[in-house]
Structure 1
Amino acid sequence: MHLNEKVIVITGGGQGLGRAMALFLAEKGATPVLIDMNSQALEETVRLCHEKGVQARAYIANIADEAAVEEVFGNIVRDLGAIHGLINNAGITRDAMFIKAKDGEVSKRMSLEQWQQVINVNLTGVFLCGREAATKMIEGGNEGVIINISSISRAGNMGQSNYSAAKAGVVALTTTWGKELARYGIRTGAIAPGFIATEMVMSMKPEALDKMAASIPAKRLGEPSEIASAVAFILENDYFTGRVIEVDGGLRL
């Protein structure tokens, strides 16, 4: 896919990795379309995209709400004519141990609310947005690409039963959709980042950051632009589909 003037939807596009993706794709002439719940962050990302000389749009929507997802994707097609790409980037964490016990006494368990909140956004939201994007691509008669952002934690990470399950799930969706959607000219891909230097991560204490970096074979955190460049690779390489790219500096949990 040539990215010039292509409409690329990015969930969680207001900040962090989503903003980095939007700006990277803007430099290639794409039209970033940002979905987020944070209106202030959305406005800032749109402004930064405009500074790069491209059109950008922002929409506020809860991606875990089916009706909201259907409405926002309908509005995007109405406003811009088509959808050529979707990056399912939005995600949350609600970390907790599955079970905490001492001397045979269970003191704490991951709550159903902690489980469900993460599954709703990180897995159901991916399903809903992916389904709607594919629908609009097929109805519009245009080929497209759906990219799901997974995580190194998909292999299983202590304190993240909910997050790990969701991020493993989106890789399974990627493979399944790659097989099902190829007949319609729709490709899929997933990216599994390791520890990336987003604003949230960099707000940690310096000693914690140093310890984190020391555990990575590359001896540093990844840059948001390095995840964005992997996104661009999947979008631009027409023979890539149904697979996951690991961008983790060689780290294995």
Structure 2
Amino acid sequence: MNLQDKVIVITGGGQGLGRAMALHLAEKGAKPALIDMNPQALDETVGLCLEKGIEARAYVANITNEEAVAEAFDSIINDFGAIHGLVNNAGVTRDAMFIKAKDGEVTKRMSLQQWQMVIDVNLTGTFLCGREAATKMIESGSEGAIINISSISRAGNIGQTNYSASKAGVVALTTTWAKELARYGIRTGAIAPGFIGTEMVMSMKPEALDMMTKGIPAKRVGEPDEIAQAVTFILENDYFSGRVIEVDGALRL
């Protein structure tokens, strides 16, 4: 897909990886439609896109709310006339051990609230936005791609029962949608980042960040723009569908 003037929806587009994706795609001539819950961050990202001479718009919505998602995608169609791609980037963590025990006595368990919050945003939100994007693309006759952001934690990670389950789930969505949506000219892809230098990661204590980095074969955290490059590859390569790209500096071997 040639990205010039293509409308690409990005959830969690206000900051972090979402902002990096928006700016990278803007440099390719795409028109970012950004969904987030933070209006100030959204406005900042839109402003940065406009500085590049690219049309971009912001949509404040909670992706776990079915009605809000439908309204956001209706607005995108009204503003741009079509949708050519979606990056399901929005996600949260609520890390906790599944069970903690001492001397045979259980002292703490992951709460249902911790489980449900992560599943609602990372998995249900991805489902709702993917369904809405596919609907609009089919109705407008726009071929394109849906990209889901997974994680190398999808293979299982201590303290991340909820997050690992959600990120494994979005890969299952990716492969299923690839088979179901191919007849409409819609491809899918997933990206599984390792440790990426977002604001959250880089705000870690220096000693903790250093210890984490030493465990990465590449000996550094990834740059947000390196994830954006993977997004661009999937969008531009018309024969890529239903697969996962790991961008982790060889951390998951």
Shift of residue 104, structure 1, vs aligned partner: 0.8
The letter of the residue matching 1:163 is: Y
Q: Aligned pair 1:32/2:32, yes or no?
A: yes
Mapping 1:8-87, distance limit 5 Å: 8-87=8-87
1:183 equivalent in structure 2:
183
Q: Distance in 2 between matches of 1:198 and 1:25?
A: 18
Partner of 2:158: 158
* Other structure's SS at 1:90 match: coil
SS at match of 1:58: strand
| Aligned mates of 1:225, 1:70 — CA distance in 2 | 29
Q: Classify the secondary structure of the residue corresponding to 1:100.
A: strand
Deviation string for 1:133-189 (max 9, x for gaps)? 000000001101000000010000000000000000000100000000000000000
Letter in 1 for 2:46: V
Aligned to 2:126: 126
Partner residue, 1:199: 199
- In the alignment, the residues of structure 2 paired with residue 94 and residue 210 of structure 1 have an alpha-carbon distance, to the nearest angstrom, of 23
Secondary structure of 1:134's match? helix
1:10 shift after superposition: 0.2
- 1:235 corresponds to: 235
Any gaps of 5 or more consecutive residues in structure 2?
none
Which one-letter code corresponds to 2:35 in the other structure? I
Q: Residues 95-110 of structure 1 correspond to what in structure 2 (within 5 A)?
A: 95-110=95-110
Q: Secondary structure at the match of 1:20?
A: helix
**Structure 1 unaligned residues grouped into runs of 5+:** none
Q: What secondary structure sits across from 1:9 in the alignment?
A: strand
| SS in structure 1 of the partner of residue 35 of structure 2 | strand
* Cα offset, 1:90, TM superposition: 0.1
CA distance in structure 2 between the aligned counterparts of 1:142 and 1:225, rounded to whole angstroms: 27
Letter in 1 for 2:3: L
For 2:165, the aligned partner's letter is A
Deviations 1:211-241 (A, max 9, x none): 1110000000000000000000000000000
CA distance in 1, matches of 2:51, 2:60: 21
Shift of 1:252: 1.9
Distance in 2 separating the partners of 1:218 and 1:42 = 32
Q: CA RMSD in A?
A: 0.7
Q: Which residue in 1 is equivalent to 2:252?
A: 252
Taking the aligned partners of 1:144 and 1:28, their CA distance within structure 2 comes to: 15
Identity %: 81
Match in the other structure for 2:5: 5
The ranges of structure 1 where at least 4 consecutive aligned residues each deviate by more than 6 angstroms after the TM superposition are none
Inter-partner Cα distance in structure 1 for 2:203 and 2:104: 37
Amino acid at match of 1:102: K
What number of residue pairs does the alignment pair up?
A: 253
Q: CA deviation at 1:31?
A: 0.2
Once residues 197 and 142 of structure 2 are traced to their aligned partners in structure 1, the CA distance between those partners, rounded to angstroms, is 35
- Write the distance in 2 (CA, Å) between the matches of 1:231 and 1:142: 19
What is the Cα deviation at residue 37 of structure 1? 0.3
Opposite residue 126 of structure 2, the aligned amino acid is V
Question: Aligned equivalents of 1:117 and 1:234: distance in 2?
Answer: 29
